[in-house]
Amino acid sequence: MTNAHIFVYSDNGKCIRFRPEMFPLYKATGAIPRTQQCPLLAATANVGMGSFVCTSDSNEIDRYCQNVCPVDPLKPVTDPDAIRMENGDDVILDKLSTDTQTALSCLRTEIAKSHGTLTVTSAYRSQAYQDHLYEIFDKRKKLSKILKKFPQCEEIFNNIDAENNRHKLKNKVGKNSKHGKGDAFDANWTVIGNEQVDAAAKTCLLVRPFPDDDPVHFQK
């Protein structure tokens, strides 16, 4: 049996972190957190070919032996555009491409013909802000799966969950998005149904490529 799926390696062969699957493997060696022998025993964990790169990673062993949550808190936001959005200016229409601005105006007009309204909730996003949203989505998902086994993660989970609720992240968030190129926006609409809004989008040379995972996303 192979457990290779447990690990993801970077280009230089170093074990990428945030792999909570390692902790039960350390435990299986008899390593007990906060004991003197813990680091030595944890380093003997073996999950098959190539495991040495991960099991010998002192940072991961320290996380386990010091009883630290295997998922880090959110990284600080430093990008100027991302900070602007974090501070509440989160619908940046002026950085949408000209074609996308024209398409958005068209979509508003088409929906208005049916007495509906279109409300844009997100437009341009810097890649740094997309990374921030993805980090919230991804870490919340990971923590939800392991929280019962790792009660030391509760504070981190609560902080990330609060960020998730503040950003109203109800749909799946991707690592990359056309928002960063100014070629996409998110919007809610009233009165008309999905088929009608898709027809209106087609008229305006727009598509909703993720109707199930991200139904509010429109792009060129």
The answer to the question of residue 73 being in a domain is no
Q: How many domains is the chain built from?
A: 2
Domain end call among 25, 42, 65: 65
Tell whether 58 and 110 lie within a shared domain: no
The answer to the question of residue 70 being in a domain is no
Contacts of 191 (CB under 8 A, 6+ apart): 111, 114, 115, 116, 117
pLDDT of 3 reads 38
The mean-pLDDT minimum among 6-10, 78-82, 84-88, 173-177 falls in 6-10
188 three-state secondary structure: strand
pLDDT of 51 reads 52
Tell whether 31 and 84 lie within a shared domain: no
- Beta strands (DSSP E) in the chain are 118-122, 184-189, 217-219
Tell whether 135 and 164 lie within a shared domain: yes
Tell whether 100 and 129 lie within a shared domain: yes
Taking residue 176's Cβ as centre, other Cβ atoms within 10 Å add up to 11
Tell whether 53 and 87 lie within a shared domain: no
The secondary structure of residue 179, as a DSSP letter, is G
Residue 25 has pLDDT above 90, yes or no: no
Instruction: For residue range 45-81, list pLDDT tens digits in order.
Output: 875 555 555 556 677 788 888 888 889 999 999 999 8
Contact 31, 60 (CB under 8 A): no
- Cβ-in-10-Å burial (0-12, 13-18, 19+) of 166 comes to exposed
Which pair of tokens denotes residue 87?
């501070």
Tell whether 44 and 104 lie within a shared domain: no
Residue 4 has pLDDT above 80, yes or no: no
pLDDT of 172 reads 81
The answer to the question of residue 72 being in a domain is no
The answer to the question of residue 75 being in a domain is no
The answer to the question of residue 114 being in a domain is yes
Instruction: For residue range 85-141, list pLDDT tens digits in order.
Output: 889 888 999 999 999 999 999 999 999 999 999 999 999 999 999 999 999 999 999
Tell whether 54 and 97 lie within a shared domain: no
- Rounded-to-integer distance, Cα 178 and Cα 189, Å: 21
Tell whether 106 and 132 lie within a shared domain: yes
pLDDT of 187 reads 97
Only one residue has tokens 């190539």, namely: 50
The answer to the question of residue 55 being in a domain is yes
The pLDDT of 166-178, averaged and rounded, is 86
Tell whether 39 and 107 lie within a shared domain: no
CATH number for the domain spanning 170: value is 3.30.1380.10
Domain end call among 35, 65, 95: 65
The answer to the question of residue 14 being in a domain is yes
Residue 6 has pLDDT above 60, yes or no: no
Range of the domain at 60: 4-65
Domain end call among 65, 92, 112: 65
Tell whether 174 and 109 lie within a shared domain: yes
Contacts of 200 (CB under 8 A, 6+ apart): 107, 110, 111, 192
pLDDT of 70 reads 84
Tell whether 50 and 89 lie within a shared domain: no
Tell whether 105 and 201 lie within a shared domain: yes
- Rounded-to-integer distance, Cα 165 and Cα 96, Å: 26
The answer to the question of residue 215 being in a domain is yes
The pLDDT of 181-193, averaged and rounded, is 95
Residue 208 has pLDDT above 80, yes or no: yes
